[in-house]
């Protein structure tokens, strides 16, 4: 397919902010999309492979600037100057391409196949000369691109498409394009297939034939990550019982990070909740899984939690978070920051998906297949009860054990990948913390010169998927590198993490693509006209990086409103 057609579609889609209109435009596009162009589905969200695939484009603004300059034949300074003016590298490429006087006689017609071919070579490049090769691949595309195509090519390359398409828009458009009724049921089936496969093109292959029932053929595959099921919040034990029903299972809510363990024969793969493969980082977990879990093939859902080897006390998440990312010194880290695996669900066992089995069956199976070894791998601490008093005691015990609280689970319900369900509820004390996304920052002065030192925090508007500002934070971050202390982050380290995602610079202020999630503690939430969420945090303080969470996992505006209300009810400080 001509890339021009895709660029025109992007353009049309960004001409409206109304969800229904966007869906209709996309539905028309999908209807006309040929079978062989299925991989265009990835490009719609700015990707080159399915979501579960870890190969991403990964090009910095700096390299994109070089490519624009080379392809168009202007110097880099001009590109940077225009970028500062316009604030969008894609628009810069569009403008400069339009101005270009050179003859365009040798221009090839760009196809989506060619774009994918070149972009897919980028993550494969390693070692010496990589930068030059990457530059050549991008420049080749840009040289052939007329202005509109240059705009979207550059935005795709730097990972900032700005057309407001989300996975849910694609789901809705598939339903509109290929099915008439009953719509809601179809939407759920399409969403389920997306959540199980994390592959939009695979789902498109089936729906384009109009055979919705065929979607059931999309199964879990061991070794391919699945989106995990997420919990809603209950204010207290009484409310939790009312929602999930009696009796129910109550488990420790461990203060660690989600780890999904896949095993197929001798092959064990570990994924985070954002579908990242972290197998290499946790050799001991592979060992425990091999030794202490019966079965040839399975998928386990668990929480990895850190503990102190000497005192055997559990440690808070921020002390072990670095194990998720660090790719070197693994053995040393494993020794210093050991984790215990608490298995709380099983999705697949010996060739069979268990997603539609009731929780009571799944949890019984866990007991059967795991021989519990504390401080290695165990079945998450659990009671099954209808008694509020017993539940209260268990909750207190979880807090004494330094865990976050408890989870209430309906015994009869299925496992719904990717959904925040009402049959799994978390109950935890009011902690005044949120997981927020950094969407902007300011460069510091004096000893913090050259580093970002004040950070704009945003929560997620669950209705639109947009990020809404809720405050500025500069506390909790260290002046010096944290290599030694291993806990926390310094201004320099955080600046380095954020730099690749800067999308606009004006004076000292920068806008940052929502990528980095952090846990933040605060003293109070207030109404505020200064931020577009309508709320402001008082005294927000950094507590931890959340490499295991993606921006879509950030706290929502709804969470903020709930916390705002509950702080009024239980006014404690002052
Ligand atoms: P939150 O991140 O506050 O939405 O809480 C949900 C998270 O709690 C899940 O994504 C898990 O990582 C974690 N968790 C800890 N213990 C459990 C458990 N027993 N069952 C389910 N999730 C748990």
Per-position DSSP letters for 228-268, written without gaps between them:
PPEEEE-SSHHHHHHHH-SSEEEEEE-SSEEEEEEEETTEE
What pLDDT sits at residue 104?
55
Name the closest-CA residue to atom 23, ligand 1: 253
What pLDDT sits at residue 102?
57
What pLDDT sits at residue 574?
32
Name the closest-CA residue to atom 6, ligand 1: 231
How many angstroms is it from 253 CA to the middle of ligand 1? Answer: 6
**Which of 314, 407, 424 maximizes ligand 1 atoms within 8 Å of its Cβ, making it the mutation to test the pocket?**
407
Catalytic residues: 253
Q: How far apart are CA 454 and CA 473, in angstroms?
A: 6
How many angstroms is it from 286 CA to the middle of ligand 1? Answer: 21
How many angstroms is it from 494 CA to the middle of ligand 1? Answer: 26
Low-confidence ranges of the chain (pLDDT < 50): 103, 105, 570-574
- Tell me how crowded residue 284 is: count the other CB atoms within 10 A of its CB: 16
* Residues framing ligand 1 (Cβ under 6 A): 230-231, 251-254, 258, 273, 303, 344, 380, 407, 426
Mean pLDDT of the chain: 93
Give the pTM: 0.89
Angle at the Cα of 351 from the Cα atoms of 348 and 356, rounded to 5 degrees: 45
What pLDDT sits at residue 573?
39
Indicate which atom in ligand 1 lies nearest the CA of residue 404.
15
What pLDDT sits at residue 537?
96
Name the closest-CA residue to atom 5, ligand 1: 231
Residue of 280, 288, 234, 210 whose CA lies nearest to 421: 234
Q: How far apart are CA 460 and CA 553, in angstroms?
A: 8
- Tell me how crowded residue 383 is: count the other CB atoms within 10 A of its CB: 17
Name the closest-CA residue to atom 4, ligand 1: 231
């Amino acid at each position: 397919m001509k890339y021009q057609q895709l660029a025109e579609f992007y353009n049309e889609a960004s001409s409206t902010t109304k969800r229904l209109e966007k869906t209709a435009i996309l539905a028309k596009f999908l209807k006309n999309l040929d079978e062989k162009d299925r991989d265009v589905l990835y490009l719609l969200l700015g990707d080159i492979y399915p979501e579960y695939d870890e190969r991403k484009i990964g090009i910095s603004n700096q390299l994109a600037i070089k490519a624009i300059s080379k392809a168009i034949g202007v110097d880099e300074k001009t590109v940077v100057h225009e970028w500062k003016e316009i604030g969008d590298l894609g628009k810069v490429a569009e403008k400069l391409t339009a101005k270009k006087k050179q003859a365009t006689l040798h221009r090839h017609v760009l196809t989506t196949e060619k774009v994918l071919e070149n972009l897919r070579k980028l993550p494969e490049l390693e070692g010496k000369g990589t930068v030059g090769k990457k530059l050549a691949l991008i420049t080749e595309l840009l040289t052939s691109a007329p202005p509109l195509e240059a705009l979207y090519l550059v935005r795709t390359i730097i990972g900032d498409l700005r057309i407001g398409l989300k996975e849910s828009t694609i789901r809705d458009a598939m339903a509109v394009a290929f099915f008439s009724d009953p719509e809601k049921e179809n939407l759920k089936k399409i969403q389920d297939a997306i959540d199980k496969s994390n592959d939009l093109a695979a789902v498109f292959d089936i729906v384009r034939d109009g055979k919705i029932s065929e979607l059931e053929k999309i199964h879990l595959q061991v070794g391919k990550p699945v989106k995990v099921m997420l919990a809603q919040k209950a204010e207290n034990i009484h409310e939790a019982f009312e929602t999930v029903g009696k009796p129910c299972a109550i488990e420790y809510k461990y203060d660690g990070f989600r780890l999904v363990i896949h095993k197929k024969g001798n092959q064990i793969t570990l994924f985070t909740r954002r579908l990242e493969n972290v197998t290499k980082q946790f050799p001991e977990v592979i060992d425990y899984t091999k030794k202490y879990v019966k079965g040839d093939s399975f998928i386990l859902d668990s929480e990895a939690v850190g503990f102190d080897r000497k005192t055997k006390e559990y440690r808070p998440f921020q002390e072990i978070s670095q194990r998720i990312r660090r790719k070197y010194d693994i053995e040393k880290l494993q020794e210093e920051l050991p984790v215990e695996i608490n298995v709380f669900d099983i999705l697949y066992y010996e060739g069979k998906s268990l997603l539609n089995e009731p929780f009571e069956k799944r949890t019984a199976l866990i007991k059967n297949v795991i021989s519990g070894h504390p401080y290695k791998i165990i079945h998450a601490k659990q009671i099954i009860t209808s008694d509020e008093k017993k539940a209260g005691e268990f909750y207190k015990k979880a807090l004494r054990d330094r865990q976050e609280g408890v989870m209430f689970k309906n015994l009869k319900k299925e496992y719904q990948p990717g959904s925040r369900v009402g049959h799994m509820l978390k109950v935890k004390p009011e902690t005044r913390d949120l997981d927020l996304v950094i969407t902007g920052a300011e460069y510091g002065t004096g000893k913090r010169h050259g580093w970002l030192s004040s950070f704009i925090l945003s929560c997620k508007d669950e209705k639109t998927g947009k990020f809404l500002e809720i405050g500025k934070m500069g506390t909790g971050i260290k002046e010096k590198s944290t290599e030694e202390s291993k806990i926390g982050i310094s201004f320099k380290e955080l600046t380095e993490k954020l730099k690749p995602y800067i999308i606009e610079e004006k004076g000292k202020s920068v806008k940052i693509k929502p990528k980095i999630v952090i846990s933040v503690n605060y003293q109070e939430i207030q109404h505020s006209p200064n931020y577009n969420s309508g709320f402001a945090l008082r005294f927000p303080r950094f507590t931890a990086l959340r490499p295991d969470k993606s921006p879509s996992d950030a706290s929502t505006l709804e969470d903020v409103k709930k916390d705002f209300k509950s702080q009024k009810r239980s006014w404690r400080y002052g």
